[in-house]
């Protein structure tokens, strides 16, 4: 069942009913100010860091779901309603929400009044702007009262939800004209405040939640709205809110516009005050004046549209499959932008409190983002690398505001270092910017201890080599890519974190996944070393990769698939000898991507085992059989009920590894089949089962062992976005930048008989037309009228246009 439709022209998903199977959200803002907004206006916003600079309070895991954040209320005579449906849930005559690229438009109508809220975070601003348009579609004049509502978070979102003995006494606001200032803690160490204003005179305001809503009322029955009179309350302690009251008369057939601005303002420390005790409001006034009328909003919207058109113009697919086009051209890269910005910090499943930027996560997010804005990818790489330790290991996470490694989670995830090589290689392939390798980058943010970025990569690579176990395979440490394979944890005590507890420290537990990742990474690492003139290092890297390949084939092969790991005791994990967890997806994907077993048929065997044992209609599950009980020697993986998360859920992140592996062995049809099983646009028709947004990937879909098979969770912030982009754009459609040229080598099977890709890369434009006749073993290319050998198209000079004809 569908709950809306794609508007491909407008690049929007149009939601036709407020009763979606779960709140369907969007992200506004791509730079420093971010908003999460659901189709009924729920959500919150923050400046840079969802934990430390949160503007709006939001209650996760609430019932009813998704109340809070922002709202509008309309009083039309005695009728009180909320045009975004929540929180009053009135009967609406019409409802529509359009989530677009950085914009969300929610429209509701009732009794001849239509209210449209158009939200965006304009480029270059640290503010969420909402243009409210009210129209009177009835035959009689309307005299409406409109109430805005936001609830402020006292900045530190963790403290805000836990430290009530303090924060019930700290809240402060100021009101000037139509502008409400949230100034909690400004008196002491903060030099930032929030501002919430509207471009029209107001009939009154409220800033105290208890006064506005009533202590025993819900947001669906705010006292002030029910009585119709603002109280001009001033919050002092307790819960500061922002609410304007507007009195609006509209003649039949007419409309009125209002512009609301909710912004973050930071003053220089020595310019905090206008006079002693008086907050410096100048920057806020300037911000408000930039959005004092509708035309300014229109201009900001146009700028944002141009921005997205230009970003998405980097890779444009035209194919006969409209669902494929909308994934590749719009929604998948859009999600990649969001994961690049948020890593795993703030979604409707990630609270924005617990996790900062992940080392491995952010490196992988780069893969789907780097072609959009390479300069930002460059800065991100330098930030990430600065959280590496000098022995090559790395902080697992860092805080976006401070860019410092997060001590709570620390280090010891032994796959982390290698992802830096993967991220850097992707950046250089896209840009040709080898100079980045010579940038001086600190270890652990210590300016006194720096080395070139290449040296960081060298230490990453050698960290793996210095940490090999009894079978010559890499030690797993706290976990590898699979956060829940905690082979040194041995926890019998509730509340011990699986990832950071090591009750037994042995150098025995090994990961076949990291082994495959090492081989995969080694070829890029060696090529980069060659480019830097480090020929010996390049040769050595290739030799290490060859021995690792042998170690995998000797100790990491189980007969029909690749093993997953050796546990602390040296027992096999992911073997036919095991009772549960006999086969895991990760090493099948990564080892084959790395080329292990491609010559001797093992790769094909492993992938056939995936097809037989792990593939389901909703995607490929992580392992089988699911663990039916807790295994102290395995850790968190066995803590989940069968079919959820890492215990045999469809953990979508690793599905594209298998897709890429299938293209590697020439089975594009299978790759594309797997692709369609999890690509959200193909799941639109089963939204009632899938439940999360049909325009973005979710981290997990419940597997075949689960009670709720097919139900997705953790939408938006997942490495699934980047890897599926790589799988489809680079490997199935087959257009990918390499160090020495643009590879054009499609492997997508007969279902897509022909297509064209326009790819901008390094300043040139490649117009690629593919006839997917599947007649040849290797695709044949004609470049600007001349047939070439192989599938690598040399990079053209910036400004050039290159025509490529490809026949498969
Ligand atoms: C989560 C984490 C990621 C991890 C994966 C598998 O998505 O963000 O780092 O690799 O789970 O456990
Ligand atoms: C939990 C989740 C896992 C995630 C990890 C990140 O273990 O189950 O999916 O990757 O937390 O810390």
Pair 516, 577: CB distance under 8 Å: no
Instruction: Report whether residue 365 contacts ligand 1, using a CB cutoff of 6 Å.
Output: no
Give yes or no for a contact between 622 and 655, defined as CB atoms under 8 angstroms apart. Answer: no
Q: Would you say the pTM of this structure is higher than 0.85?
A: yes
Whether the CA torsion 525, 553, 646, 482 is positive or negative: it is negative
The DSSP letter of residue 77 is T
CA-CA distance, 518 to 415, in Å (whole number)? 9
Going by CA atoms, what residue is nearest to atom 11 of ligand 1? 483
Which pair of tokens denotes residue 528?
């980069």
The residue whose CA is least distant from atom 3 of ligand 2 is 483
**Beta-strand relationship, 179-182 and 754-761:** unpaired
Q: Answer yes or no: are the C-beta atoms of 161 and 44 closer than 8 Å.
A: no
Tokens of 360: 């491995």
Task: Tell me, yes or no, if 483 is annotated catalytic.
Answer: yes
Q: Among 362, 417, 481, say which to mutate for ligand 1: greatest number of ligand atoms within 8 Å of CB.
A: 481
Is residue 237 within 8 A of residue 171, CB to CB? The reply is yes
pLDDT at residue 399 in the model: 85
Q: Which residues line ligand 2 (CB under 6 A)?
A: 483-484, 499, 636, 645-646
Pairing of strands 510-511, 446-452: unpaired
- Ligand 2: centre distance to CA 499 (Å): 8
Distance separating alpha carbons of residues 287 and 422, to the nearest angstrom: 41
Closest residue by CA, ligand 1 atom 7: 718
Ligand lying closest to the C-alpha of residue 636: 2
Q: How far apart are CA 797 and CA 801, in angstroms?
A: 9
Q: From the CA of 480, how far away is ligand 1's center (Å)?
A: 9
483 CA distance to ligand 2 middle (Å): 6
Looking at the DSSP bridge assignments, the partners of residue 684 are none
**Strand extents, DSSP E, 100-141:** 103-110, 113-120, 127-136
Write the CB contacts of 677 (distance below 8 Å, at least 6 apart in sequence).
Answer: 615, 616, 617, 618, 619, 620, 655
By the 8 A CB rule, do 622 and 678 touch?
no
Q: How far is the CA of 301 from the centre of ligand 1 (A)?
A: 35
Local structure of 153: helix, strand or coil: strand
3-state secondary structure 359-391: HHHHHHHHHHHCCCCHHHHHHHHHHHHCCECCC
| Residues forming a β-bridge with 442 | 450
Closest ligand to residue 482's CA = 1
User: Which ligand number lies closest to the CA of residue 717?
Assistant: 1
b/e 12-27 (16+ beta carbons within 10 angstroms → b): bbbbeebebbbbbbbb
Q: Is 358 in the pocket of ligand 1 (CB under 6 A)?
A: yes
> Residues 208, 483, 524, 567: which is the catalytic one?
483
Token duo for residue 705: 């062992």
Ligand 1 contact via 482 beta carbon (within 6 Å): yes
In angstroms, rounded to a whole number, what is the distance separating the alpha carbons of residues 105 and 71?
13
> What is the predicted pLDDT for the residue at 300?
98
As averages over each run of 10 residues, the pLDDT of the chain (808 residues) reads 98 98 98 98 97 96 93 98 98 98 98 98 98 98 98 97 98 98 98 98 98 98 98 98 98 98 97 94 98 98 98 98 98 98 95 89 98 98 97 93 89 97 98 98 97 98 98 98 97 95 93 98 98 98 98 98 98 98 98 98 98 98 98 98 98 98 98 98 98 98 98 98 98 98 97 98 98 96 98 98 98
Listing DSSP states for 620-687 in one string gives E-SEESPP-S--TTT-GGGGSPTTSTTTT-EEGGGHHHHHHHHHHTT-HHHHHHHHHHH-GGGGGGGH
- The residues, ordered by sequence, that sit 6+ positions from 747 with a Cβ below 8 Å of its Cβ are 662, 663, 666, 667, 668, 671, 731, 732, 734, 808
First to last CA, the chain: 37
Residue 68's pLDDT is: 86
Atom of ligand 1 nearest to the CA of 481: 10
């Amino acid at each position: 069942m569908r709950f809306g439709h794609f508007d491909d022209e407008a690049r929007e998903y149009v939601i036709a009913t407020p009763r979606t199977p779960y709140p369907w959200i969007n992200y506004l803002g791509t730079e420093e100010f971010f908003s999460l907004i659901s189709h009924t206006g729920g959500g919150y916003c923050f400046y840079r860091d969802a934990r430390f600079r949160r503007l709006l309070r939001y209650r996760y895991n609430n019932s009813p779901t998704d109340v809070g954040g922002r709202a509008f209320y309309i009083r039309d005579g005695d009728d009180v309603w909320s045009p975004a449906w929540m929180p009053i849930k009135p009967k609406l005559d019409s409802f529509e929400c359009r989530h677009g690229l950085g914009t969300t438009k929610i429209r509701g109508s009732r009794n001849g009044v239509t209210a449209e809220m158009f939200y965006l975070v304009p480029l270059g601003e640290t503010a969420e702007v909402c243009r409210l348009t009210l129209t009177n579609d009835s035959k009689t004049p309307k005299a409406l009262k409109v109430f805005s509502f936001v609830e402020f978070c006292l900045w530190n979102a963790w403290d805000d939800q836990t430290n009530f003995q303090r924060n019930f006494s700290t809240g402060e606001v100021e009101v000037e004209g139509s502008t409400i200032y949230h100034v909690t803690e400004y008196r002491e160490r903060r030099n930032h405040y929030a501002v919430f204003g509207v471009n029209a005179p107001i009939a009154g305001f409220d800033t105290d939640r208890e006064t506005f809503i009533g202590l025993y009322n819900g947001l669906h029955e705010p006292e002030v709205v029910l009585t119709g009179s603002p109280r001009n309350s001033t919050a002092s302690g307790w819960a500061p809110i922002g609410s304007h009251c507007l009195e609006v008369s509209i003649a039949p057939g007419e409309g009125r516009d209002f512009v609301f601005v909710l912004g973050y303002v930071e003053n220089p420390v020595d310019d905090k005050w206008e006079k002693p005790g008086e907050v410096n409001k100048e920057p806020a006034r300037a911000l408000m004046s930039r959005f004092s009328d509708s035309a300014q909003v229109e201009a900001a919207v146009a700028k944002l549209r141009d921005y997205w058109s230009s970003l998405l113009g980097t890779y444009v697919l035209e194919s006969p499959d409209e669902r494929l086009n909308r994934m590749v051209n719009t929604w998948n890269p859009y999600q990649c932008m969001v994961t690049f910005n948020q890593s795993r910090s703030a979604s409707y499943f990630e609270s924005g409190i617990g996790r900062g930027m992940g080392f491995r996560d952010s490196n992988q997010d780069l893969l789907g983002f780097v072609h959009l804005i390479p300069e930002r990818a460059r800065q991100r790489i330098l930030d990430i690398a600065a959280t590496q330790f000098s022995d090559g290991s790395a902080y697992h996470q860092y805080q976006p505001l401070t860019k410092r490694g997060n001590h709570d989670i620390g280090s010891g995830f032994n796959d982390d270092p290698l992802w830096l090589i993967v991220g850097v290689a992707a950046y250089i392939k896209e840009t040709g910017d080898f100079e980045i390798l010579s940038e001086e980058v600190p270890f652990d943010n210590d300016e006194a201890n720096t080395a070139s970025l290449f040296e960081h990569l060298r230490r990453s690579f050698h960290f793996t080599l210095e940490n090999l176990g009894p079978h010559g395979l890499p030690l797993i440490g706290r976990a590898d890519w699979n956060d829940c394979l905690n082979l040194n944890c041995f926890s019998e005590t509730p509340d011990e974190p699986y990832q950071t507890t090591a009750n037994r420290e042995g150098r025995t537990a090994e990961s076949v996944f990291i082994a495959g990742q090492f081989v995969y990474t080694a070829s890029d690492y060696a090529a980069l070393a060659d480019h830097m003139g480090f020929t010996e290092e390049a040769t050595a890297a290739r030799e290490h990769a060859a021995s690792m390949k042998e170690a995998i084939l000797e100790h990491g092969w189980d007969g029909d698939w690749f093993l997953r790991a050796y546990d602390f005791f040296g027992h096999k994990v992911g073997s036919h000898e095991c009772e549960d967890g006999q086969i895991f997806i990760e090493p099948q994907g990564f080892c084959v991507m790395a080329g292990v077993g491609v010559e001797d048929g093992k790769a094909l065997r492993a992938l056939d085992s995936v097809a037989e044992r792990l593939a389901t209609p909703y995607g490929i599950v992580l392992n089988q059989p699911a663990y039916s009980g807790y295994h102290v020697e395995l850790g968190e993986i066995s803590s989940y009920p069968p079919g959820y998360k890492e215990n045999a859920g469809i953990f979508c992140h690793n599905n594209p590894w298998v897709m890429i592996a299938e293209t590697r062995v020439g089975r594009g049809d299978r790759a594309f089949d797997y692709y369609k099983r999890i690509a959200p646009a193909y799941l639109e028709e089963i939204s009632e089962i899938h439940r999360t947004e049909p325009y973005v990937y979710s981290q997990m879909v419940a597997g075949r062992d689960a009670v709720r098979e097919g139900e997705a969770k953790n939408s938006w912030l997942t490495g699934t976005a980047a890897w599926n982009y790589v799988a489809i754009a680079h490997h199935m459609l087959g257009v990918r930048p390499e160090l020495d040229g643009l590879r054009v080598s499609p492997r997508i099977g007969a279902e897509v008989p022909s297509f064209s890709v326009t790819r901008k890369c390094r300043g040139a434009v490649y117009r690629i037309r593919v006839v997917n006749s599947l007649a040849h073993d290797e695709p044949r290319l004609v470049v600007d009228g001349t047939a070439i050998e192989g599938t690598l198209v040399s990079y053209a000079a910036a400004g050039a246009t290159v025509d490529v004809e490809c026949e498969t």
